[in-house]
Chain A
């Protein structure tokens, strides 16, 4: 199926999250968005419901839209769920003799907490009767010390089958140096257990460090079943409705790939939803001519943040999930427990704290009136008057202000001898601090100053906090994008084709004999990248190849990633990279940190293959400045958290703010599925693409 040749005026992006399925549909003249509840038994149901809701906005039905739809891009939480909840296919493992306890030992599962009660065995990711040792060994130089004994492996496979394994990970030491033993085990698996889904560790992640490599293979197996079911269900349901376009999947690394690739490597969908938002912010920033972006996404349970310096998102190499390190690369998104449902509580010192515990969507905040008794961030917003209790999520929930006040009174205000308003303001402040600290982690701790960045704020609730967060960070401007309440789906829809390939080369740059080996590896990876792209119908002439290398000083443990030239390597390249490396290193870690006099090692190489897709246009209107001041739809009494005083402030509706309009705080903007709080000292203008641009007065 050729992705870029399918015709059709419509294209759809969905972000299937834990609670809601968000959808953005591009139509010939505008984008429409919708939101439906996620249906966990059968995801297609919720997705079709969202398609119906979106189609209705252009007076059509799903059955009318889908046959004219050229692309359907999925952002989905299914793999994230399978991995974080360790619920998925029953995984069997073939592992080098002597090391069957690798998963139980988990590379050392101690957390950074001092609390001994948190130092407990990690949950079993593979049942122990599904781990079978194989008499084989490769040494660190890639020499096969002991090869496969076919009969032994066949017997092991039969044991795994008998014990109920559905998917098999082949996990041998040093297989990335020499995959012969893993490959032979793979052949035997094909003969003995053809119906099993198989992942070989050298194929999943051909990089040094067995624990993350093995975990990549195991998680790939674990997430296989849910992914296949999702794909099969959706293919059937959309097919019934006449969809003939291309179905693609958005990966955690921030680009989409076709069904075949996903079925082989479902783990690439890990963290796909949040990555959608980051890439969406990137699209809009590029359009607005903004180069440095901090993003923030506030959901019900967490706040996710990431940094894009010069429009390049940072990548988390060897991302860890709980105690489990993996080899997968995903966009580096820092998540803290500060969402709308995060619970406020008093710690042992009597100091209020927010999160990480969340009331979730059930029972939800106290103001939902569904049995939640403990105060949450959303309750504080209701008490402060920042959220209109009658019009929350376009009236989807009627909020109970008295319940919110009672919860804050009982748990925070009374114990501290404060008024409820003051306690609510404290909760608001603490949520701001948590989010600002998370932003600091992705910016300051990596050497970026927030004053050089624009903050992109999305997710329904964040608009209330964005200005105060930026005030704390010294970040001067904020963009709240149009469609911000379904922003991840927007990012998913506008995604490019991206695939990443990694390999360990371990080349000390001052050894000239390494050039040839590295070039051979690069050529192999490029050929693979082209073959994969071709199978997805991508025009190879438009395929961009971005090689990169991970470098470190000889003897160090952590690597620094740098782009490599997109051509065969020369000895001069090696000399230049080695010479430049100390300066690059000091940019990352500070003056005086480079290991002067140490050799530089190119540890891993990677290739990113990118095919840029045409982006659907959103709404656009020439801004008109200097028009009459917009009319508020109401005046509302709020308690201003930062100033700790009451005020009557105007509330503006979406329609009252056409492009070019400028308003000054304190005021509230209520656009239905999201609310902005613009405190005094800040201004808000609407740009030509209907984004809100907020600025702090100098």
Chain B
């Protein structure tokens, strides 16, 4: 730790200032949350508030949705680009929701930017962003699964002035209301965002009044310097080197099971890092990542995994370089690429890739605090549907957007704990899951069950969080139309440090069911009594139709595991089995734990089973024992220029080479391997299958790493400590 000394101010003054600015942003957030009517805001907490200075540099961020760290900056920059600053008056406000022109994550996340004036001059900017219930266009609630270009997706505002004197302009209000579904809620949410900015505007003016513009500016700068230094301290604890990972974005909405490769390289050099992203040419469906989503989701993982206690402001950006490569790729998309799932498709793969590369670097760190940040990938499958219809009880428009369904995914396994349930997506800090009774009030249907799905959490020393199985029946609309989505059907989330992958998501639609009949004749609608048709369909459905009596049933994915499951404490496995989180079979096959009749671990049988699994992993009896004090979460270390298995000390080749070359590798089709593990993933029916590659130490048979990849592709890249090897600037992957 370096000691911070602000140049001209007592650091306590800086801290007081920082806290009071942050307090203002929180007050803006409270105003928005209390006044909004949309469960997307009040429960899912899909919103954020930011304050920026007159240079459009961030001063604070009170977000729940961490990817808005980037959109706040891009939104204010867009306002300044589009509007001569001398024309901007107090009470003006601008709307920004276009990923291509005004810095939005996707069109559904609408930013309202308003200037903060003091003494007749702009001293800063307020930025409030919320996911609105609808933004018009072909999509319901902004997810345009069928769009071929951004023009057919939704309304897209390029930082235009729609607010005068602190109020939504009447003409614009009429225009927006005329173009969106559920216009009442949408207009009210825009009003709430204006109210939040108005609160910020008053508080900042009072603050500047009290301390003067010069001191305000100077304290802002010192605050940024402090955050910059903290960020640099964290980066310094990561070993210099190049860390790389690869993953595939999924889209099968037009029948073809597309997988689109993207790559990330983390280059650590002293107290600075570069994050490089590369992908193939942008595509004509909504998965493309534009700059705001790619950089925004980078901040999500940076904050969750590494920089969780650093106050967010422009200082944290300074030691980090984002390199998105050439424009026109799926990690750096430009118009006319469709982008309504920018944050969820390419964006959430970015979270997973960063979990990989940060964990690689953390696992080699000698700093215990940083080494403890190794984590698996979380499930964060966003598997849900949105649909629009007419409520048969009152003839009013109705929207189905069951929020709880999108949240009940398993969290990452971490060094301090098993993963949590209802982790949602990594970017959704503080989100709540709506109660069943509230869902049955706001949605035109009934929730039949909401249960933890057994064996969905990846096995490891710490287990991945579990997915949840939820079934919702439509009861109050004869027919609803919209889209159904998932981002994680074919490629399950990976474990780390030798942990196993978690389950992917799966969903089905029951049609022509006996549900209405059961409800009318007082029969409990349990899963095993439901009859009907379950058509085989794509994971993403562009023209989703759900009728009265149909049942949407989703089983969410789980987080990956962390560390070799053979080293999980048997008592924890026994308790997982007793709780129904893990089946007997998986306890035996993945964890090597055999339970006696009383449900407790049978130590002798467990020891034998664990030895048998080790022998099976490498095809022979291990030649070395795992040391009792071997680390649980860092299977590899470099020693004297060579890789070494930290579990037994076996050498694994020179550090210049990929350690995987020295491991015993078993490649299995992921669908058949997951069937053995009771886990869930869609089998890919066309092209190369998705495979699971288990890499084990040739001497002690410890699990060193479990990869998910496409059959026929090269091994995943290894860690390269001490090497600074960036991607070429113009690199574009094969599509």
Contacts and interface: CB of A to CB of B under 8 A. Distances in A.
B606 interface: no
B309 A121 contact: no
B307 to A, nearest CB: 8
Interface stretch (A33-41, A95-103, A256-264, A455-463): A95-103
Contact of B422 (A109, A209, A433, A591): A109
A119 B4 contact: no
A352 B12 contact: yes
Contacts of B685: none
A140 interface: yes
Contact of B43 (A348, A440, A557, A593): A557
B35 A208 contact: no
Given A107-B432, A210-B437, A120 B408 contact: no
B97 to A, nearest CB: 21
A48 interface: no
Interface stretch (B521-529, B657-665, B726-734): B521-529
Interface in B408-424: 408, 411-412, 414-424
Contact of A349 (B12, B226, B438): B226
Contact of A98 (B310, B375, B451): B451
Contact of B64 (A98, A109, A112, A598): A112
Given A108-B422, A210-B435, A99 B449 contact: yes
B432 A557 contact: no
Contacts of B438: 208-209
A212 B519 CA distance: 27
B199 A116 contact: no
Contacts of A100: 451
A444 B27 contact: yes
A110 B430 contact: yes
A298 B449 CA distance: 46
Chain B interface size, as a band, is 35 or more
B288 interface: no
Given A117-B417, A209-B437, A350-B2, A101 B451 contact: yes
A347 B305 contact: no
B522 A116 contact: no
B526 A114 contact: no
A555 B199 CA distance: 23
Nearest to B26: A445
A109 B420 contact: yes
B523 A116 contact: no
B11 interface: yes
A535 B58 CA distance: 61
Contact of A120 (B310, B418, B446, B526): B418
A445 B420 CA distance: 32
A635 interface: no
Interface string A427-444: 001100100010010001
A114 B45 CA distance: 14
B165 to A, nearest CB: 10
B159 interface: no
A348 B375 contact: no
Contacts of A117: 308, 372-373, 414-417
B448 A98 contact: yes
Interface string A83-125: 0000000000000011111101111111111111101110000
Contacts of A98: 448-451, 526
Given A116-B412, A146-B522, A558-B34, A208 B441 contact: yes
A121 B432 contact: no
Interface stretch (B114-122, B227-235, B485-493, B535-543): B227-235
Given A115-B308, A120-B417, A557-B39, A101 B519 contact: no
A221 B255 CA distance: 54
Contacts of A429: 12, 16
Nearest to B441: A140
A120 B184 CA distance: 37
A453 to B, nearest CB: 17
B88 interface: no
B700 to A, nearest CB: 29
Interface string A530-541: 000000000000
Given A117-B417, A146-B523, A146-B524, A350 B1 contact: yes
Interface string B162-199: 00001100000000000000001100100110110011
B71 interface: no
A419 interface: no
A364 B498 CA distance: 43
Interface in A18-65: none
B433 A105 contact: yes
B167 A592 contact: yes
Contacts, number: 239
Contact of A210 (B42, B194, B436): B436
Interface in A121-151: 121, 128-129, 135-137, 139-140, 144-147
Q: Which of A347, A433, A590, A597 has the most CB of B within 10 A?
A: A590
B418 A121 contact: yes
Given A110-B430, A350-B4, A590-B31, A105 B422 contact: yes
A598 B188 contact: yes
A111 B428 CA distance: 10
B391 to A, nearest CB: 13
B30 A445 contact: yes
Contacts of B33: 558
A101 B418 CA distance: 17
Contacts of A591: 166, 195, 198
A236 to B, nearest CB: 40
B253 interface: no
Contacts of B372: 117
Nearest to B310: A348
Contacts of B412: 116
A385 B448 CA distance: 65
Interface string A166-200: 00000001100000000000000000000000000
Contact of B34 (A114, A115, A139, A589): A589
Given A346-B1, A557-B36, A145 B418 contact: no
A416 interface: yes
A581 to B, nearest CB: 13
Contact of A101 (B35, B234, B452, B526): B452
A426 interface: yes
Query: Looking at B12, B227, B426, which has the most chain A CB atoms within 10 Å of its CB?
Result: B12
Nearest to A325: B432
B35 A121 contact: no
A348 B309 contact: yes
A351 interface: yes
Interface string B18-61: 01000100110011011111110011000000000000000000
A135 B448 CA distance: 12
A480 B393 CA distance: 60
A211 interface: yes
B522 A555 contact: no
A378 B424 CA distance: 42
B431 A110 contact: yes
Contacts of B42: 557-558
A351 B4 contact: yes
B524 A598 contact: no
Contact of B522 (A145, A346, A556): A145
Contact of B421 (A121, A137, A140): A121
Contacts of B436: 99, 173, 210
Contacts of B305: 116
A497 interface: no
B37 A557 contact: yes
Contacts of A139: 440, 446, 519
Given A98-B451, A349-B227, A350-B4, 6 more contacts: A115-B308, A128-B579, A211-B435, A348-B234, A349-B310, A555-B37
The 3 residue pairs across chains A and B that have the minimum distance between CB atoms: A98-B449, A115-B308, A108-B433
14 contacts: A97-B449, A107-B435, A110-B420, A116-B308, A117-B308, A117-B372, A140-B441, A348-B310, A351-B14, A553-B37, A557-B39, A589-B34, A590-B31, A592-B191
